[in-house]
Structure formats: C-alpha cells, structure tokens
Amino acid sequence: MNKLWTDDGWADYLYWQSQDKRTLKRINELIKDIERNGALNGIGKT
C-alpha cells in the first residue's frame, strides 16, 4: 500500500520522529491497522 501525505502531515510525522516517540508509535499502529483492515474499520474507529 502506498501512503500519501500532505505537506503539513509529513512535517508533523517528521517532528514526531524526533520529538514524540509515543505519538509516533500510535500513528504507526494506526497506519498498520488501516493497511490490514481498511480505513473504515479497526482500532481508530472506537
């Protein structure tokens, strides 16, 4: 699956890589879950 980022979204992702590992881990978990279950289901839909 290819991931597309807005400029602001990519800048935020790069910030989290260097400053907020906890948020980065959660974002990566959400991305992996979307790859497995689609955007309309999964852990981000509770």
In a domain, 45, yes or no: no
Q: What pTM value is reported for the model?
A: 0.73
Which H or E element spans position 11?
Answer: helix 7-19
Q: How far apart (Å, rounded) are the C-alpha atoms in residues 1 and 26?
A: 19
In a domain, 20, yes or no: yes
Domain with 30, as residue range(s), is 7-39
Domain count, the chain: 1
Structure confidence by residue, pLDDT tens digits, 1-46: 788 999 999 999 999 999 999 999 999 999 999 888 887 777 766 5
In a domain, 21, yes or no: yes
Whole-number pLDDT of residue 41: 78
Whole-number pLDDT of residue 8: 97
DSSP class of residue 39 equals T
